[in-house]
Amino acid sequence: MALAATMVLASVLGTANAYAEDKPVALIVSQGGLGDQSYNDLAYTGFERALKDTGIEGKPVESKEVVSQATEILRRASDADFGLIVDLEYAHGEPMLEVAKDYPDTKYVILNQVREGANIASVLFQEQEGSYLAGTLAALVTTDTSIKGINPKPVIGVIGGTKSAGIDKFIAGFIQGAKAANPDVMVKVAYSNTFGDPAVGLQMAKAMIEEGADVIYHVAGGTGMGVIQAAKEAGVYAIGVDTDQDGIAPGNVLTSMVKHTDIAVEKVMKDYAADKFPGGQTISLGLKENGVGLSEMKYTKELIPAPILEKVETAKQDILSGKVKVWNVVDQGYPDFMK
Amino acid sequence: MSAVASSARAAPGIGWRDIALAIAPLVLALIVAAVVLGIAGHNPLEVYWLLLKESFGGTKRVAATVAASTPLILTGLATAVAFRTGVFNVGVEGSLLVGGLAAAFVGFTYVDLPAALLLPLALGAAVVAGTLWMLVPAVLKARLDVDEVVTTLMLNFIAVSFTAWLVNGPLLAPGSANSATPMVVEAARLPKLMPPSTLNAGFLIAVALLVLYWLWGRGTALGLETRLAGLNPRFAIASGINVPMLIVKMMLLSGAIGGLAGGIQALGTVNRFVVGFSPGYGFTGIAVALLGRGSAIGIFLAALLFGALATSGATIQLFSDVPIEIVNILQGTVMIFAVARFSWLLKNRRGGK
């Protein structure tokens, strides 16, 4: 009886004193681990910034068995009274659904996919907006023969990893941006049907280059490494995706459409700290939130005439001001120009 | 020390030297890792205590550890079965991958079948795939004496690329941007033993196989033949044993168990096949077989050790600043000291020819 009373008292005091934001944050690092100089490292910088700015405690968790131990790790962190669990591993979508149900007081974040649940926040990136700028840049570059390696033909290309709405979201934005900059530009579209085969990417890009394409955007993961290789061999340009890939073939990667995972992680953690956690919602990060954008073009900035860069900047401002609406295939279905 | 000796005297059969030799790799590894931890500014005893708590402190943690050990029991057993015959099969990883993918494929394709049919069918597909994967190196070894270390190791890389290609293309879940198959249906999943832990009926299958292995090694003609062939192939041939046929049989059995390990992982834990499906269970299985000295109980304990390191290594990061690398060093050091017996095995193998 006395014990029960103490427990009730403790729980009352607990709710009165301990705000959700006092509980620590766990960051579950995806396959590849920290030190990948890519997705995980980028997200980790956002995690560290948020910890520093909010004063919350937090721990990153890495495991070679991150895929097979999905629910075990999520449950352990939930049991250990972590208040927020930010999960970078894509394969944790389904396991998170299962675990989140059992821990209604714990908050979860998943990236690049939508998972339903009152205590789950999903983060999506408006990749079509960044792709629009890539398309604008590509269309302007492809007709400017003063740039090294550019032929007079107004032909550019894009290679997707698979024919799906998630990939066509990028491609539609790219085409829209290209057509807006130059209605006469021809955009060749192809799908590699694999995300992991650079040889296929190399072949497809070579075929496009033979048909006159001199800027090729890839949305094809590892297959895209072949696209970049083909651009390097032919002395033309590739456009990278997801992370800043400009350094893979300096001078031959025109730019990269970067997804700022760090901004995403930082934002949800700060919302959590401010007691504004967007549970049950899908956060959409676009140009405005600096969630997507073009790379800084470290190796190519000098090659491109200033008027072109200015026009790309204008296009960006038009999107930010709402003057231009970029088509989102996932939300809106296919636009006429892709049917 | 005297307590160990006296208990050993009370139970003849397992001498204290065997026990000491078996745990020596662990003790040495703990000492080496303690030095590393100390240099990195951590208190080794605190870290070890935390590891112990995170692997065996409470039923949930024990369940997690046992769940993580399940694939290692099977890959350890698969490796030991081949070692016994003197075949150094390092291709269990490949069998595990193709087995896992085969089981997942059945599990998300034949969705209308009842569980009583679908589950055995999916596990059966895993076994068949794992077995077939070993067919070529088995025949090459038995007929042409092609070094199985090379063929099976190379086949692992092929399995990694082959399965990755399949889940990136033909078997990719519709609409998924990730390299993964669709989830297997509920009817194809192995029942959980202690929900919500991922510990599942696969563990019982693994233990049952270990018991069979123990009985088989002790009481059957094939068990004796493999032992003879492993110890001295020339003597075995002279005794009228068809050694090449024996090698083929045991390599296929090794592949079958490896495939089953993948199937259990696909149907019990991951519920699909996805890139990153195996963190190297097949390779850890080699260390398990060596550390366990090929005995059933040894394999079980070694698998438990590596399973414990895998679970606690991940979760201690929630409670300390010990990075995963330290746990990897600990695991790697145990492996090195376990594999130190490898030279002995190789000597045996070459000497036999």
> Looking at per-residue confidence, does B2 or A288 come out higher?
A288
Q: With an 8 Å Cβ cutoff, are A94 and B318 in contact?
A: no
**H and E: helices and strands count for chain A:** 11, 12
CB-CB neighbours of B135 under 10 Å: 13
Dist CA B35 CA B47 (whole Å): 12
What does the pLDDT average to over A48-62?
Answer: 95
Q: Which residue of B has its CA nearest to A163?
A: B175
Where residue A3 falls among pLDDT bands split at 50, 70, 90?
very low
> Looking at per-residue confidence, does A246 or B19 come out higher?
A246
C-alpha distances out from residue A251 to A155, A233, A240, Å: 20, 12, 12
Where residue A11 falls among pLDDT bands split at 50, 70, 90?
very low
C-alpha distances out from residue A135 to A132, A140, A201, A244, A311, Å: 5, 9, 19, 17, 12
Per the CATH hierarchy, to which homologous superfamily does domain A18-125+262-285 belong? Response regulator (3.40.50.2300)
Average pLDDT over all residues of chain A: 90
Alpha carbon of B326: minimum distance to chain A alpha carbons (Å): 12
Dist CA A110 CA A282 (whole Å): 10
Do B202 and B192 form a contact (C-beta atoms < 8 A)?
Answer: no
Where residue A6 falls among pLDDT bands split at 50, 70, 90?
very low
Asked if the model's pLDDT at residue B207 lies above 80, the reply is: yes
AA identity, residue B80: A
Percent of chain A with pLDDT over 70: 94
Q: With an 8 Å Cβ cutoff, are B279 and A77 in contact?
A: no
SS3 label, residue A282:
strand
Asked if the model's pLDDT at residue B348 lies above 70, the reply is: no
Please state whether beta strands A186-191 and A237-242 pair in parallel, antiparallel, or not at all (unpaired). unpaired
Please state whether beta strands A237-242 and A215-219 pair in parallel, antiparallel, or not at all (unpaired). parallel
Looking from the CA of A197 toward its CB, the CA atoms found within 13 Å total 22
Segments in B169-278 forming alpha helices (H): 202-219, 221-231, 233-238, 243-264
Dist CA A134 CA A143 (whole Å): 15
Q: With an 8 Å Cβ cutoff, are A90 and B175 in contact?
A: no
What does the pLDDT average to over B93-108?
Answer: 97
Query: For residue B12, what pLDDT is reported?
Result: 43
Q: With an 8 Å Cβ cutoff, are A65 and B310 in contact?
A: yes
> pLDDT digit string (tens) for A216-254?
999 988 889 999 999 999 999 999 998 899 999 999 999
Phi, psi dihedrals of residue A215, rounded to the nearest 5°: -135, 120
Name every residue whose Cβ is closer than 8 Å to that of residue B83 and which is 6 or more positions away in sequence: B89, B230, B289, B294, B345
Dist CA B325 CA B280 (whole Å): 16
Structure tokens at A164: 């799906």
Do B92 and B78 form a contact (C-beta atoms < 8 A)?
Answer: yes
Q: In what order do the strands lie in the sheet with A155-160?
A: A186-191, A155-160, A215-219, A237-242, A253-259, A292-294
Name every residue whose Cβ is closer than 8 Å to that of residue A147 and which is 6 or more positions away in sequence: A141, A303, A304, A305
Sign of CA dihedral B216, B219, B220, B223: positive
All structural domains of chain A with their residue ranges: 18-125+262-285, 127-258+292-338
Q: Is there a shared CATH topology between the A18-125+262-285 domain and the A127-258+292-338 domain? A: yes
Exposure string (b/e) for B13-36, b if CB count within 10 Å is 16 or more? Answer: eeebeeeeebeebbebbbebbbee
AA identity, residue B30: L
Dist CA B186 CA B293 (whole Å): 38
Query: For residue A69, what pLDDT is reported?
Result: 92
Picking from B54, B65, B167, B179 by the largest number of A CB atoms within 10 A of its own CB, the best residue to mutate is B179
Do B32 and B44 form a contact (C-beta atoms < 8 A)?
Answer: no
Domains and CATH numbers, chain B: 45-351 (1.10.3470)
Q: What is the CA radius of gyration of chain B?
A: 21
Among chain A, residues having any CB pair with chain B shorter than 8 Å are 26, 31, 33, 59-73, 75-77, 79-80, 82, 90-91, 94, 98-99, 102, 112, 161-162, 164-167, 193-197
Among chain B, residues having any CB pair with chain A shorter than 8 Å are 60, 64, 67-68, 71, 164-165, 168-169, 172, 174-180, 183, 196-198, 265, 269-271, 274-280, 310-311, 313-315, 317-319, 323-324, 328
Please state whether beta strands A58-61 and A25-28 pair in parallel, antiparallel, or not at all (unpaired). parallel
Structure tokens at B225: 């033949």
**Helix B281-291 vs helix B16-39: crossing angle, to nearest 10:** 130
**Lowest mean pLDDT across A95-109, A235-249, A324-338:** A324-338
> pLDDT digit string (tens) for A262-300?
999 999 999 999 999 999 999 999 999 999 999 999 999
Looking from the CA of A75 toward its CB, the CA atoms found within 13 Å total 19
SS3 label, residue A97:
helix
Where residue B10 falls among pLDDT bands split at 50, 70, 90?
very low
What does the pLDDT average to over B283-303?
Answer: 92
AA identity, residue A285: L
Alpha carbon of A67: minimum distance to chain B alpha carbons (Å): 6
Please state whether beta strands A253-259 and A292-294 pair in parallel, antiparallel, or not at all (unpaired). antiparallel
Asked if the model's pLDDT at residue B69 lies above 80, the reply is: yes
What does the pLDDT average to over B135-143?
Answer: 92
Structure tokens at A167: 């990939």
What does the pLDDT average to over B197-216?
Answer: 95
What does the pLDDT average to over B152-157?
Answer: 94
Q: With an 8 Å Cβ cutoff, are A62 and B323 in contact?
A: yes
- CATH class held by domain A127-258+292-338: alpha beta
Q: What is the CA radius of gyration of chain A?
A: 22
Where residue B345 falls among pLDDT bands split at 50, 70, 90?
low
